Amino acid sequence: MLNITHANQRGVANHGWLRSRHTFSFGGYYNPDQIGFSDLRVINDDRVDGGEGFGTHPHRDMEIFSYVLEGALSHRDTMGNGSTIRPGDVQMMSAGSGVAHSEFNGDRDELVHFLQIWIVPNVRNAEPRYAERNFSEQDKRGRLRLIISPQGDDGSLEVRQDVKVYAGLFDGDETATYTPPKGRYTYVHVARGTVELNGETLGDGDGVRIRDDEPLNFARGDGAEVLLFDLRPFEVPGLG
């Protein structure tokens, strides 16, 4: 069964230079029915104006990954990492015992549109770490490509949790089927475009909770980019 949260049901934050949509409770947005799902705690859909960004701020005990859809996002952190990620790049920062970072749109003329996603880790006070990787359009075209996993399988980025994340691009006749492992939960987020999931049309920003192991069929995409999360079977982060 598909439990759909439509894009217009998300939280909204408008700071002028930053416009965000929050799938789950975050910052000034609180919804007791949207605390998270399994170990998935945050999906923020952020648009940052040119020349603007997030100043240096701390995190700890959270697995944080950024997925760029448009533009270029510059990152600096107290581990000494500095880079700029663009569409196709995935950045993973394991905050562990504590790290501070900044994120900035260095292009004064173009906005940057990206997803920042937080996953609750399975270990506390670990050593902070950072990695990034590019997954080409060809890697994701008409299929679900593993981009994050506990052991870094198939060239994916490592995460400190029993979670796997897949990314896919779908247009026209392209299709893919994902069969959830028995006893697992699944979450699907449509990053942009539209796609049918088991016959249900989903649009940009829609999210779906799935709590059974029936096959999930993606079809009839129109500029669709999707993320799929394979998760442990419980409802709210921190209770697993």
Q: Work out how many domains the chain is built from and give that number.
A: 1
Q: How confident is residue 26, by pLDDT bands cut at 50, 70 and 90? A: very high
Integer Cα distance of 201 and 210 in angstroms: 15
Q: Which residue, 143, 53, 43, 130, is CA-closest to 94?
A: 130
Integer Cα distance of 188 and 148 in angstroms: 15
pTM: 0.97
The reply to whether 115 falls in a domain is: yes
Q: Which domain holds residue 111?
A: 2-231
For the stretch 153-192, pLDDT in tens is 999 999 999 999 999 999 999 999 999 999 999 999 999 9
Strands (E), the chain: 2-5, 11-14, 18-22, 40-48, 53-59, 63-70, 73-77, 82-85, 89-94, 99-104, 112-119, 129-134, 144-149, 157-158, 164-170, 176-178, 185-197, 200-202, 207-210, 216-231
**Phi and psi torsions of 98, nearest 5°:** 140, 135
The reply to whether 154 falls in a domain is: yes
Please, where are the H alpha helices in the chain? 137-140
The reply to whether 72 falls in a domain is: yes
CATH number of the CATH domain containing 106:
2.60.120.10
Integer Cα distance of 28 and 56 in angstroms: 20
The reply to whether 223 falls in a domain is: yes
For the stretch 60-79, pLDDT in tens is 999 999 999 999 999 898 99
For the stretch 119-164, pLDDT in tens is 999 999 999 999 999 999 999 999 999 999 999 999 999 999 999 9
The reply to whether 240 falls in a domain is: no
CB 40 within 8 A of CB 233: no
The reply to whether 167 falls in a domain is: yes
